[in-house]
Structure 1
Amino acid sequence: MFAVFRTARKALRWLLLPVLAVLLAACDTALGPITGGPSIDTSEPVTVALLVPSGSGSSGDELLAKSLENAARLAMRDLSGVTIDLRVYSTAGNAGQAASQASQAVNDGAQIILGPVYAEAANAAGRAVAGSGVNVLSFSNNSAIAGGNVFVLGQTFSNTANRLVGYAGTQGRNNIVIVHSQDPAGEQGRQAIASAISQNGASLAGTVSYALSQEDVIAAVPNVKSTVDATGANAIFLTSPSASALPLFAQLLPEAGVSPGVTQYIGLTRWDIPPQTVSLPGVQGGWFAVPDPAAAGAFSAQYQGAYGSAPHPIAGLGFDGIAAIGALVSQGRSNALSAGSLTQGAGFRGASGVFRLRPDGSNERGLAVATISNNQVRIISPAPQGFGGALF
């Protein structure tokens, strides 16, 4: 897989990881504001519908579905004084089935919906139950579907970009070139980085885009070099994941004279997945964001101890949803599952650290900033441990 680093003439395989399907844009825009929610009796079991992608015929979806359910049940064990009636519904990873299953769940008495995973399915589920006032905590990370009764639990591009641009500013790296792919994920990444640059008082030195082919990646390299030289940029922010163009950029940009020692490389995605990526010369010294390592490690160990295998990379979102619901219900308020309660500023503590939901349906997660040094990942800015008193 990594032969591409030895020569740019080797064929570059564009891999699509199952988890990246979460980024697919939804067919419809987000709903308008909804402030209601079901009134609940906190002394009684809370009915939670878990919508998972099982039934699609994909082994990957089946594994993900089981891992999400396992993680949700793991979180239920930690609740004190709160009883969850968890009911699992299969969406087959399909928007139409997600909508019908969401409606069925509400008819069955669901007071909140956890899931589904994929953006189109989550959007459809939210629309299907919007009139009931039931909120949807989806596992998507696509902020385009957020809003109204739909919240996204996945780590968003905006959250990652803000954390990294903010940290870059503290290090004097505030003149940034964005390098992004010409696909939906790349465009969303570009928008998130540009917004983070504006919000954090940094400067956008330029933008270089490329199509998803080896030839276009190679052709983009001199454009990146000339943009850096012309603007005096001191950082490059790349949207590409390690399964796509990152390995080629990591090889060719330094060869073209864009030295990582002079121009800071920053990544919107995890540069430590797969593990082989950390051995690339071009990523040494690069910055990227990761969940709180201590929290994520503790969750992984707890999951492995309970189920005898490692959790799926996004299984922790199932844990997070139940943790948030349990924390709110434990306060004894009848409006515990309303949008206002879900978006309380203190946030929650979940499988990968602290997080909170925003009124616009997006989220903020406490992320650490990592770098790669001598082929090893090192934390250079630890994850925050709260937002002023996170709930448990």
Structure 2
Amino acid sequence: LDQKPDLIIGPLFSHSITAIKTMAQEAGVNVIGFSSDHSVAGNGIFLMNFRMEEQIARVIRYASKNGYARYAALIPETAYGKRALEVFRQAVTDQDRDLAAVEFYPPDSTKLVNPVKNIAHYKERRRKYTREIDFLEKLGEEDDFAQEMLDELKSVETIGDVNFDAILLPEGGAMLTTLAAWVSYYEIDPTKVKILGTGLWDDEMLFVEPQLHGGWFAAPDHTKSHEFLTRYQDIYGQRSPRLTTLAYDAVALAATLVRQEKYPDFSAEQITNPNGFSGIEELFRFRKDGLIERGLAVYEVGAKAFTVIDPAPVSFVERDKPEIMLIKTPEVGQADYLEAASHPSSPADDDRPFPYNPVQKDAAYSPDQ
């Protein structure tokens, strides 16, 4: 701050943002950080991250429009889970749908059985199954119909459906795959129940998890980010941390603000431009409370790819020619930057690429960093 910066980019964790927040406010300098801890946002602190809240709202909205009406959720007993449940409840209410069941599970993969059994009503459905088996066996081997029914029941362990037609699993990584395995084991039928997730599902590991195939989740459009990440790996010989796209967009936003006016304007008014920006992670804008909003697509999980089943919006505003900041994607080896569609552009031969410094830690999706 002694060097009088116009904008600060890069505090990664909430404790780092908290440490500089008061000093930045006193100096009149806005901050773009990468923490997912929303409590540090506002008063000049803007958080560039992926918000689970809008991902849940988006996928519930889409599922509701497609006929799903009774919702359940398996929620981790964490601060992240508490936030997820609040948003989930509100999203279901906003769509005038029913919240059928919620079960909580501890952040321990060895303790998932009972929560899944409970939400699946497994004991009740198992009792119906055993009673039906006993009844059919008493009819004897001479009853062809009974024997046919018994043969059909050999492939299942329960009878009857659960009381919901969609279930949210706001989880990722190994915990998600373990949870999904138990969901399948306790016969929550994915042909009858749509499994929903968050941006934590944006992981190619799910391609080899058949119990999640057909599931839906919301995330930014992948087109530009995949191009960027592929280019990064080609250049540096290793996979990029997920956070690098956010860092790139933050720097690109700053470059855009420099290019828009004769004198750079990094004020909150400019940063919270309601028309938004479009970067590597596609459409986004900052709210006045410092939180980010994104234009999200809805994806379906497949065996080889994620398929867009509902595209991301191209604009936050309903107008014929929205004033969206569009990204110029240069050739491999050059830096990306944003340019304002609503302002005169610089001369065609003026690329002015800005330097990029890859971030080594990833806090983009971490619950409380």
Question: How does the TM-score come out when normalised to structure 1?
Answer: 0.67
Measure how far apart 1:335 and its partner are: 7.6
- The number of aligned residues is 285
Measure how far apart 1:142 and its partner are: 2.7
* The one of 312, 333, 336 aligned to 1:383: 312
Measure how far apart 1:364 and its partner are: 1.1
Measure how far apart 1:281 and its partner are: 2.2
Measure how far apart 1:340 and its partner are: 1.7
Residue equivalent to 2:165: 234
Equivalent residue of 2:190, what SS? coil
* The one of 214, 222, 226 aligned to 1:293: 222
Residue equivalent to 1:271: 201
Asked if 1:221 is matched to 2:221, the reply is no
Equivalent residue of 2:274, what SS? coil
* The one of 235, 241, 253 aligned to 2:183: 253
Structure-2 change in CA distance of 1:128 and 1:208 (3 Å): farther
Residue equivalent to 1:352: 281
Measure how far apart 1:154 and its partner are: 0.4
Residue equivalent to 1:59: none
Aligned-pair identity (%): 26
* The one of 192, 199, 212 aligned to 1:262: 192
> Is contact 2:276–2:284 with CA below 8 Å preserved after alignment?
yes
* The one of 300, 307, 321 aligned to 1:371: 300
Residue equivalent to 1:157: 52
> Is contact 1:176–1:236 with CA below 8 Å preserved after alignment?
yes
Matches within 5 A, 1:156-195: 156-195=51-90
* The one of 12, 20, 33 aligned to 1:125: 20
Q: Aligned partners of 1:299 and 1:266: how far apart in 2?
A: 27
Structure-2 change in CA distance of 1:305 and 1:375 (3 Å): closer
Deviations 1:239-284 (A, max 9, x none): 221232x1122112122221111111001243352x3332112101
Equivalent residue of 1:122, what SS? helix
Structure-2 change in CA distance of 1:253 and 1:231 (3 Å): closer
* The one of 92, 95, 105 aligned to 1:210: 105
Deviations 1:203-244 (A, max 9, x none): 332321011223431110122113998983221111221232
**Aligned residues: CA RMSD:** 2.5
Q: Aligned partners of 1:117 and 1:203: how far apart in 2?
A: 38
> Is contact 2:120–2:162 with CA below 8 Å preserved after alignment?
no
Residue equivalent to 2:240: 311
> Is contact 1:271–1:278 with CA below 8 Å preserved after alignment?
no
Residue equivalent to 1:18: none
Matches within 5 A, 1:66-81: none
Q: Aligned partners of 2:57 and 2:306: how far apart in 1?
A: 21
User: Greater CA radius of gyration, 1 or 2?
Assistant: 2
Q: Aligned partners of 1:125 and 1:199: how far apart in 2?
A: 38
Structure-2 change in CA distance of 1:136 and 1:172 (3 Å): same
Deviations 1:9-33 (A, max 9, x none): xxxxxxxxxxxxxxxxxxxxxxxxx
Q: Aligned partners of 1:210 and 1:305: how far apart in 2?
A: 41
Q: Which runs of 5+ in 1 are unaligned?
A: 1-105
Matches within 5 A, 1:52-71: none
Measure how far apart 1:135 and its partner are: 1.0
Residue equivalent to 2:41: 146
Q: Which runs of 5+ in 2 are unaligned?
A: 126-159, 327-369
Q: Aligned partners of 1:162 and 1:294: how far apart in 2?
A: 22
Q: Aligned partners of 2:283 and 2:19: how far apart in 1?
A: 28
Q: Aligned partners of 2:264 and 2:86: how far apart in 1?
A: 35
Measure how far apart 1:177 and its partner are: 1.3
Structure-2 change in CA distance of 1:232 and 1:364 (3 Å): same
